[in-house]
Structures are given as C-alpha cells and as structure tokens.
Amino acid sequence: MTGPENMILPRTGIGVDVHAFAAPGEPRPLWLGGLHWEGERGLAGHSDGDPVAHAAADALFSAAGIGDLGTHFGTDRPEFTGASGVTLLAEAARIVRAAGFEIGNVAVQFVGNRPKFGPRREESQRVLTEAAGAPVSVTATTSDGLGFTGRGEGISAVATALVYPAANVHSSANLER
C-alpha cells in the first residue's frame, strides 16, 4: 500500500461544488471566491453558497482521505450551518492538519458567465490563502454558452488539493541528518 519508509508521498484530492443562482424573487448577495460581489446576482444554497470556497474545502478533505464537506459540516455540527465559505475552508484546513497532514496547495477553477473575475483574482486568492494557511490559486472560465453555466443558471467549481503527511516529513528530515 505505501512506498518506501522514508519516501514522502503527497496525496491529491478533488472537490466539485455547484450552486444555482437565486430566484429573482428571492435576491441574495453573491459570495464567490471568498469575496462579496456588489450588484451581482447571488447564488442559492446553504451558507453563503460560495462554490469556490466549498470546492476547495472538499478537495482538502479528499486529499487527506477523511471524507467530505457533508462528513464534517453535516447535521452533527450545527454551529457551521450558515457559516461563510471562508470559515468552512479555514476549519477544513484545521481538521486536515489535525489529521496529521500539511497542506501543499489548493487550485480552484470555477465555470460561469459572471462575475468578471480577473480584476479581483489576487484579492480572492489572498483571502482564501489566508483561510487555508497555504497557497490557494483561483482561475475562471466559461463553458462557451453550453450547459447550465452557459445558460447563466449557476456556477460550478472544481478544486484539487495536495497534502502530505506531516509526521513522515519530520522523520525523513531526521534521517537525513
């Protein structure tokens, strides 16, 4: 199952999250990539509906092999009902570290017609990186008019994360001395 004793094997994880835009009669603020987007139509769903932050948190759990968002923020932890995506990401990072992993990085890409992301990319990455305590990069694309994202019905996000066993890092560092 595992490699040589003193070899550090990183682990990758994946997370996908989708939220529909809120119905016109029930306007909500848009939270995406840890940022509030003034004047943009918001997304429906639990908490702030931030698919970028949720996918990032899910990818961290996946990489550590300790379940998913539902496992950790389900009905047994009601204190996280309605929590912001940034809060969930920070808590996910804490749980993953408590499980014995360090976080290499997280990469997220969302698919949607709007908002125009480029001008605020750095700001978003800064907020999410601070929450995770590790580099989080965010990119954006469209689906060329196809599917629910192309029709402007919602936004999807996919994330990958890389973690590595903290204990193995320390023991292999000791072996090199």
Residues that bind Zn ion (CB under 5 A): 17, 54
CB of residue 155 to Zn ion, shortest distance in Å? 10
CB of residue 4 to Zn ion, shortest distance in Å? 39
Q: Which two tokens stand for residue 75?
A: 């009905």
Please identify, using beta-carbon distances, which residue of 17 and 91 lies nearer to Zn ion: 17
- List C-alpha distances in Å: 27 to 30, 41, 43, 47: 9, 7, 9, 14
Please identify, using beta-carbon distances, which residue of 44 and 169 lies nearer to Zn ion: 44
CB of residue 159 to Zn ion, shortest distance in Å? 11
Please identify, using beta-carbon distances, which residue of 89 and 162 lies nearer to Zn ion: 89
CB of residue 130 to Zn ion, shortest distance in Å? 20
CB of residue 50 to Zn ion, shortest distance in Å? 7
Whose CB is nearest to Zn ion? 54
Please identify, using beta-carbon distances, which residue of 93 and 168 lies nearer to Zn ion: 93
Q: Which long-range contacts (CB under 8 A, 24 or more apart) does 118-126 make?
A: 120/33, 120/35, 123/35, 124/32, 124/33, 124/34, 124/35, 124/52, 125/33
Please identify, using beta-carbon distances, which residue of 54 and 72 lies nearer to Zn ion: 54
